[in-house]
Structure 1
Amino acid sequence: MDSCLLFLLLLLMDNNGLCQQEEVCSKSVINSCDDCIRSGPYCVWCKQLNFTKAGEQEAVRCDTKAQLIERGCMAEAIISSNNEQVIKKNNPLTTSFNREEPVQLAPQEIDLRLRPGLPMTFRVSFKRLQGYPVDLYYLMDLSFSMKDDLENVKGLGQELFAALKKITQHGQIGFGAFVDKTVLPYTNTNKEKLDKPCDEDSQQCQAAFGYRHVLSMTPNQIEFEAKVKEQFISGNLDSPEGSLDAMMQAAVCGDKIGWRKSSTRLIVLTTDDGFHMAGDGKLAGILEPNDEQCYMENNLYTKSSEMDYPSVGQLAKQLEKNNIQPIFAVTENMQTVYKQLSKMIPKSEVGVLSPDSKNIVQLIEAAYNRLSSKVTLTHDNLPDNVRVLYTPICSHAGPTRDTEGFCDRVHVGEEISFNVTVTALSCMKDTSFTIRPLGIKDTLTVTLSTVCECHCQDPITTNHTHCKEKGSISCGICSCHEGYVGQFCECAIGDKDERSLRASCQRQNGTECEGRGDCVCGRCQCHTTENGKSYHGDFCECDDEHCENFQNKLCGGNGKCNCGQCECYPGFEGTACQCKVSDESCRTVNNTVCYGRGTCKCNRCECKEGYQRPRCQQCLGCPDTCQTKLNCIECLGFESGPFKKNCSAACGKSIFHGMVDQFTIVSKQCQQKDSEGCWIKFKLDQLVGEDNYRAEILRERDCPEPPSIVAIIGGSIASVALIGIIVLLLIKLLIYMKDLKEFRKFENEKKKSQWAKADNPLFHKATTTVANPTFTGE
């Protein structure tokens, strides 16, 4: 735990409720007292006349109180705004419950006026009341698997009321039941099954339903027992139930449930199954999201089959809004599921039921004691630019958080406190938010406003002598009449407007005089630096103090600073004048400097692009010189190629043909094919300097023999003829293959045919017969 938190816990605070810290005013652009107040929580303004020197910027009036007094500002001339708090309502905490409105949280209303960035701490007290009323709503799962549990609950009325009276004399109990939505696939929609969803051997079974409110809050034990005994088991198809649907309606239908205004509100949910949640309704074609509204008619939830289940977040929000604390009494197999649910719902507890729910009374007692002994202070409707920190002051404090404060094991009648620290991060309109303990109706309303303006109470003088009688005083500075500008309204602007005059003091539309001077009649009057020197330049852009240092000396002590650049004394060089003028380490074997490919600075070669240190001898990433110098070799040696017409101009300065008396850095033999397809073998010597070579052709060009025209033509004709013959053969082959295929098909059909020996149906015998009487047949 750091020292600042220890101070908070021990209440060793300053008048603002904060640990002492160094006061710093981080100024930006300051043109007025209001700008100063907004720029930081420790910035104050000096309104003393003649506090600034001639030409000095008015922004020097803005600093911490200690700095301004040191500069000569009188304490009574310092304008400062501090945090303020006013407690509007602070009814005392109630010792024990009575019929009047009990008070468990104090104060109830507080007004804060805050400087942006300056935290404000105040104390909030809470006292747990003896005999505070309790409203307990018993919400039971009546699916068929809870049959034995229902029979036991019917006989628990006396024990429940007895346990409730141990806690308070002002207890009430209500009762509700749920199963699931009466649509497929959650419930069998066959008419007979809707009327009697249980097994056939079960005589007492009520029709399927989603959620039913059975009994509103009552202190009457007999009424409770009678209503519970009227309940019978029901049933559905799938194992998850409509628990969240039922809890949502029990939370938002307060007038029907009978929740009292001043009471601890508990929902005891008993079930042996999981729960459906938002999105599951799509399985039944229910797409309308839950709208967190009450839909109860004749004690039945009427939108059960039309509206989706609520999400866990929606349910948690409504439970918190209505100060309801749920107790999940579930079977052991569901314990893990509901513990995860409890983590997402503030002020909730989980207890494990016995197989027949006989331990429900003890479970409720234990869960209530755990819930009521935990006090969690949090807030609602907090603006985005406001931060709240809670520091609990109690025997069993939880970790400090920026969203809530927590105390555990708080006894009945015990008073605990929280230090609440509020910080407004920026100027804002008047707003409010609520601080309250979870599960308790008592609230603290915090009304918040910010202090972002100065109230200097200047004398009403329209023509003040300090302003050359051309303006009035506003927080120590001149507010000039129309037509006059300047620190003391000394400049008459004539035909020019003030904006154009000020624009002439801005470099590239930047800050006026770079923030280092005042614009007087369109020209910058530069201020002096902290060391007594002056800024200079047309826009006060230059100073002689921000040059590079070497060995903790400005310009190494070997030069002077001028407008941010070091001007070295003779014999020194470098950006910080850190080097003596010398080129000893830059000299090469032939006594050149960096081989002519760079400059020597600070006794070190700074090579031209591509050449490498230490002395710029090698070129990394440079193109192949054999290829790049080929055209010059061709034109110089053989008067051909692309550079033939301007060979001397293109190549004379970068390559020497023949022997030249210069130092060779490196030699290279090349063999390249020129523009005419001839091979040229040559030697390149790299000389001192950039792109400087000597060339030596090693032998005559090796050109290939020209092609034979007759052979080319003859070969072409032969090739065409050969291709033609091959094409014809291919065509002939294709035709032959097609004919062969058709012939084989015909042969196959011929083999399959069978000739019938019947008469031809198209032939008819003669209808008349003529006999020759003279014919004897011989």
Structure 2
Amino acid sequence: MCCHFPLFLLSFLLSLAPNGWCQKEDVCSKSIINSCNDCVRSGPYCAWCQQLNFTKAGEQESARCETQAKLMERGCAEEEIIYPVSVQQIDKDKSLSNSFNMQEPVQLSPQMISLKLRPGLPTTFRVSFKRVQGYPVDLYYLMDLSFSMRDDLENVKELGQDLFSALNKITEHAQIGFGAFVDKTVLPYTNTNKNKLQKPCDENYQCQATFGYRHVLSMTPRSDEFKKVVTEQSISGNLDSPEGSLDAMMQAAVCGNKIGWRNSSTRLLVLATDDGFHMAGDGKLAGILEPNDEQCHMTNNLYSKSNQMDYPSVGQLAMQLEENNIQPIFAVTKDVENMYKQLSKMIPKSEVGVLSHDSKNVVQLIESAYNRLSSKVTLTHDNLPVNVRVVYTPRCEHARQEGNNKGVCDNVRVGHEISFDVTVTADTCMENKSFSIRPLGIKDTLTVRLSTNCECQCQNPTASEHPHCMSKGRIRCGICSCSQGFVGQFCECSIGNKEEHTLRASCQRESGIECENRGDCVCGRCQCHTTASGSSYHGDFCQCDDEHCEKFQNKLCGGNGKCNCGTCECYPGFDGSACQCTVSEEGCRTPNNTICYGRGNCKCNRCECKDGYQRPHCQTCLGCPDPCQTKLNCIECLGFDLGPLKKNCSVVCRESILHEMVDQFTISSKQCQQKDMEGCWIKFKLDQLVGEDRYKAEILKQRDCPEPPSILAIIGGSIASVALIGILLLLLIKLLIYMKDLKEFRKFENEKKKSKWAKADNPLFQNATTTVTNPTFTGE
């Protein structure tokens, strides 16, 4: 960058120095240029030359559109250059108040400003703020009355006077109100037994019926009234631990008339609880599906839609608190402190304090939280028009920025004036837009009326038929506007010219199509048609349009570039086919500080590797041939003066093999063992270097060549092999014969087992007819 001036000086410097100290950075990205208005709308640095005879015959009038420096280089006089600038005007600027009185105090200045911006050019103005001494404070004490808060309630009943005393130290105009909440009176949040609804606590405790949120006391300046109402309160109860805190806070925010919030006051909402909170979606547990509508539903000081409407989301609550200038203070116990700190991060202008176990320190907690809130001034905006950007630069001792939409000054003392530089940029042309700038939690606002300067204020000759236009047209911003029946750069052609065929030939490219069927050939030049979306084709032959570039996140060129003839022209600092990424090489840088190891290009902070090399850094190659084989011929000639490359080794192998020792980063190493053309084994080491196909070689000078074969051993081995094969064949034949005999024998055995003998009696045998027994035979 050649400039280091603050942003708020940019518009002033440009108006004083047309050429600009940073003119070399100014770029006019032209697209469709048919007039001066088209020119100034195409880019913030585009200027128009209205000088007559600035363009040559046949030259496109878009040549009149360039940066101021380039136009003057081409010979355009400075007074003939049209360059609209941004203009600002303060419409309302009341002085800042020193202290509060019964009239409306002024803490923000100015109160209204009108801006007429040149699209793309930032304009800066200053906003001042001063905390008013004695500014009124409205404090609404919203207390959890579930059973676990019974000890805290007893202490709060005695704190009314102390709270007022603390507030009176801040201002004489303090008011305080009181509200209470438990949870929705439906299952599973509350026991819906009829007796339990009326008395949810044990018999030992005085307990009131269950409820969701109840507004108890509207804003009052009387401490005795606060003490009386709070003393009448009693504890209640429910089933689950999370409470209906967000329901109660939403009603306290949107029911301003019932709560009694004053228009000119610092609004504090103190939430005292010892448990977490239900949020949007939890209502489904009880069959409650209707989303919270962010409206006031109070009947007889009770939230009437508690059981019909879901809890609000954190986003809904944050929006309503901000819109109603309410600053919440979460007075919670230690065990839920982290939960509410996370909630506080999502709700602007909120603080978290830790209660003691019985809430005795609540007054000191509120006082400390108020001091932190009031001493922190956060400037932001709402209802910002589309294509408008706002950046805040705080001018204070303790300044910081929160993103691009907030400026913060911390530790701002009462009566001390601070300021913010507000830089507004409009990216497109617009008319009669407005938005508001205000400090969070403060009623004072600055209304910004916004329009753009997209029209050329040219000094046109009054003559309706100017000699420059062949007396057939008038001058508008340096170019001819021809009368009916005449066309051409200088109105030199009439419709029906006899040389029309010659003129039409100049409207054709190689395709032979006149103006690519996207325009009309008029006097030898293409007058392009309008596209379906309302823009125009452009180019000498209407070959270009600016609607068919690649999109990113549903934005043409990602919103970070301009579409020109189908190609994205990225703004400085962006890259990619759709300008989708920032320019950076950190993701492509390797440990040896090279880019993609020299094997690819860095695009969109990622390596685009050459064929075969793999992401992320193109270190490895898939499908690439083995270098041990591909480099063998070079190793042979370099190390042993052998091989097919012997004659031109130094030329062929010079780039891919670095034989001598070199001091370069080694990516990987590989040990190789290959046979050369003589059948000898060669051992060598290849170190892969940065770049594509580059190696450093270390060659072992000794080759391992095999001994020549023995003839006797070959002949003897052949005879032995033949004999062995013959023996094996004989054994195979013997085995087959044996298997056949064994099969026949088993068949015989099976048939033998199946044979049977006859069992009939011998017909020749006859039993004895007479039997004689010896009477003296005893059988012994």
Structure 1 stretch displaced more, 422-431 or 193-202: 422-431
Write out aligned runs for 1:482-501 (5 A).
482-494=484-496
Q: Residue 302 of structure 2 is aligned with which of 300, 303, 317?
A: 300
8 A Cα contact 2:8 2:123, kept in partner: no
8 A Cα contact 1:136 1:268, kept in partner: yes
Larger radius of gyration: 1
Q: Residue 172 of structure 1 is aligned with which of 149, 171, 175?
A: 175
Cα distance in 2 for partners of 1:475, 1:65 equals 16
Aligned to 2:332: 330
Q: Residue 141 of structure 2 is aligned with which of 138, 141, 144?
A: 138
> Aligned to 2:13, what secondary structure does the other structure show?
coil
Aligned to 1:349: 351
8 A Cα contact 1:107 1:125, kept in partner: yes
Q: CA deviation digits over 1:589-641, x for unaligned, max 9?
A: xxxxxxxxxxxxxx99xxxxxxxxxxxxxxxxxxxxxxxxxxxxxxxxxxxxx
Aligned to 2:13: 14
Does residue 102 in structure 1 map to residue 105 in structure 2? Answer: yes
Cα distance in 2 for partners of 1:480, 1:9 equals 44
Aligned to 2:760: none
Pair 408,9 (structure 1): closer, same or farther in 2 beyond 3 Å: farther
Pair 367,193 (structure 1): closer, same or farther in 2 beyond 3 Å: same
Residue 522 of structure 1 deviates from its aligned partner by: 2.9
Q: Residue 476 of structure 1 is aligned with which of 471, 475, 478?
A: 478
Cα distance in 2 for partners of 1:161, 1:500 equals 94
Q: CA deviation digits over 1:556-595, x for unaligned, max 9?
A: xxxxxxxxxxxxxxxxxxxxxxxxxxxxxxxxxxxxxxxx
Pair 401,4 (structure 1): closer, same or farther in 2 beyond 3 Å: farther
Pair 498,130 (structure 1): closer, same or farther in 2 beyond 3 Å: farther
Write out aligned runs for 1:295-694 (5 A).
295-399=297-401, 401-494=403-496, 505-507=507-509, 521-522=523-524
Aligned to 1:617: none
Residue 447 of structure 1 deviates from its aligned partner by: 1.1
RMSD of aligned alpha carbons: 3.1
Residue 464 of structure 1 deviates from its aligned partner by: 1.4
Residue 67 of structure 1 deviates from its aligned partner by: 2.4
Cα distance in 2 for partners of 1:218, 1:357 equals 22
Cα distance in 2 for partners of 1:73, 1:455 equals 17
Q: TM-score, normalized by length of structure 2? A: 0.64
8 A Cα contact 1:16 1:120, kept in partner: no
Cα distance in 1 for partners of 2:143, 2:102 equals 31
Residue 71 of structure 1 deviates from its aligned partner by: 2.3
Pair 104,232 (structure 1): closer, same or farther in 2 beyond 3 Å: same
> Aligned to 1:69, what secondary structure does the other structure show?
helix
8 A Cα contact 2:11 2:121, kept in partner: no
Pair 197,164 (structure 1): closer, same or farther in 2 beyond 3 Å: same
Cα distance in 2 for partners of 1:137, 1:291 equals 22
Identity of aligned residues (%): 72
8 A Cα contact 2:131 2:414, kept in partner: yes
Does residue 75 in structure 1 map to residue 62 in structure 2? Answer: no
> Aligned to 2:128, what secondary structure does the other structure show?
strand
Residue 524 of structure 1 deviates from its aligned partner by: 8.6
Cα distance in 1 for partners of 2:380, 2:438 equals 6
Residue 43 of structure 1 deviates from its aligned partner by: 1.4
8 A Cα contact 1:117 1:425, kept in partner: yes
Cα distance in 2 for partners of 1:498, 1:271 equals 87
Aligned to 1:45: 48
Residue 400 of structure 1 deviates from its aligned partner by: 6.2
Q: Residue 287 of structure 1 is aligned with which of 279, 282, 289?
A: 289
> Aligned to 2:6, what secondary structure does the other structure show?
helix
8 A Cα contact 1:391 1:405, kept in partner: yes
Residue 362 of structure 1 deviates from its aligned partner by: 0.2
Structure 1 stretch displaced more, 139-148 or 443-452: 443-452
Aligned to 2:29: 26
Q: What code does the residue aligned with 1:206 have?
A: Q
8 A Cα contact 2:11 2:124, kept in partner: no
Pair 428,540 (structure 1): closer, same or farther in 2 beyond 3 Å: closer
Q: What code does the residue aligned with 1:408 have?
A: D
8 A Cα contact 1:513 1:539, kept in partner: yes
Cα distance in 1 for partners of 2:66, 2:324 equals 49
Cα distance in 2 for partners of 1:51, 1:296 equals 73
Cα distance in 2 for partners of 1:416, 1:28 equals 44
Aligned to 1:608: none
Cα distance in 1 for partners of 2:107, 2:228 equals 36
Cα distance in 1 for partners of 2:230, 2:16 equals 56
Aligned to 1:207: 209
> Aligned to 1:14, what secondary structure does the other structure show?
helix
Cα distance in 2 for partners of 1:524, 1:143 equals 80
Residue 472 of structure 1 deviates from its aligned partner by: 1.1
Q: What code does the residue aligned with 2:69 have?
A: A
Pair 96,69 (structure 1): closer, same or farther in 2 beyond 3 Å: same
8 A Cα contact 2:11 2:86, kept in partner: no
Cα distance in 2 for partners of 1:480, 1:251 equals 64
Pair 500,213 (structure 1): closer, same or farther in 2 beyond 3 Å: farther
Q: What code does the residue aligned with 1:7 have?
A: P
Residue 50 of structure 1 deviates from its aligned partner by: 1.7
Q: Residue 121 of structure 1 is aligned with which of 121, 124, 129?
A: 124
8 A Cα contact 1:513 1:524, kept in partner: no
Residue 382 of structure 1 deviates from its aligned partner by: 1.0
Pair 15,74 (structure 1): closer, same or farther in 2 beyond 3 Å: closer
Aligned to 1:249: 251
Pair 280,539 (structure 1): closer, same or farther in 2 beyond 3 Å: closer
> Aligned to 2:400, what secondary structure does the other structure show?
coil
Query: Which ranges of structure 2 fall in alignment gaps of 5 or more residues?
Result: 528-539, 544-650, 653-780
Structure 1 stretch displaced more, 418-427 or 350-359: 418-427
8 A Cα contact 1:244 1:309, kept in partner: yes
Q: What code does the residue aligned with 1:76 have?
A: E
Aligned to 2:628: none
Aligned to 1:267: 269
Residue 496 of structure 1 deviates from its aligned partner by: 10
Pair 299,408 (structure 1): closer, same or farther in 2 beyond 3 Å: same
Cα distance in 1 for partners of 2:73, 2:402 equals 40
Pair 497,80 (structure 1): closer, same or farther in 2 beyond 3 Å: farther
Cα distance in 1 for partners of 2:168, 2:504 equals 81
Pair 501,312 (structure 1): closer, same or farther in 2 beyond 3 Å: farther
Pair 15,377 (structure 1): closer, same or farther in 2 beyond 3 Å: farther
Cα distance in 2 for partners of 1:12, 1:33 equals 21
Residue 142 of structure 1 deviates from its aligned partner by: 0.4
8 A Cα contact 1:288 1:307, kept in partner: yes
Q: What code does the residue aligned with 1:213 have?
A: H
Pair 494,217 (structure 1): closer, same or farther in 2 beyond 3 Å: same
Pair 164,503 (structure 1): closer, same or farther in 2 beyond 3 Å: farther
8 A Cα contact 1:135 1:264, kept in partner: yes
Q: Residue 162 of structure 1 is aligned with which of 146, 162, 165?
A: 165
> Aligned to 2:401, what secondary structure does the other structure show?
coil
Cα distance in 1 for partners of 2:48, 2:284 equals 64
Residue 16 of structure 1 deviates from its aligned partner by: 6.6
Residue 58 of structure 1 deviates from its aligned partner by: 1.5
Pair 100,262 (structure 1): closer, same or farther in 2 beyond 3 Å: same
8 A Cα contact 1:141 1:271, kept in partner: yes
Q: CA deviation digits over 1:7-30, x for unaligned, max 9?
A: 359999736799963333222332
Kindly tell me the number of residue pairs found equivalent between the two proteins: 527
